[in-house]
């Protein structure tokens, strides 16, 4: 079942410093369990803060990760060459 996007603030309009695991997972397009695995294995691209036993995911780091991903996708599209372009 897809999460209801009406319950989430757009990341560019988010004013809080951190998000819950559910909110961060929604914005990153990952499952909550994936983010939990990242938190205890230190294998993921983000590190959460721990606040009273809860995970708090920094909004700035989520934005940075999403911007880096979109930049990499754009760069890889720009470096691909059509077969017809070779002379």
Q: Which tens digits make up the pLDDT trace of 33-79?
A: 999 999 999 889 999 999 999 999 999 999 999 999 776 666 666 66
Query: CATH number, domain at 34?
Result: 1.10.1660.10
The count of other CB atoms within 10 Å of the CB of residue 60 is 9
In a domain, 82, yes or no: no
Alpha helices in the chain (DSSP H): 21-28, 32-41, 59-79
- CA-only gyration radius of the chain, Å: 17
- Give me the domain span that covers residue 64: 13-70
Within a domain: 50 = yes
Report if residue 83 sits inside a domain.
no
Are 63 and 27 within 8 A, CB to CB?
no
Q: Cα–Cα distances in Å, from 30 out to 27, 34, 35, 57, 82?
A: 8, 6, 7, 13, 32
Please give the pLDDT value at position 82: 52
């Amino acid at each position: 079942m897809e999460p209801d996007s009406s319950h989430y603030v757009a990341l560019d309009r988010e004013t809080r410093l951190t998000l819950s695991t559910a909110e961060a997972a929604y914005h990153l397009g990952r499952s909550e369990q994936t983010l939990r695995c990242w938190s205890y294995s230190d294998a993921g691209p983000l590190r959460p803060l721990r606040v009273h036993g809860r995970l708090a995911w920094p909004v700035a780091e989520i934005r940075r990760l999403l911007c880096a991903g979109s930049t990499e996708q754009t760069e890889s599209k720009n470096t691909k060459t059509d077969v017809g372009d070779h002379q």
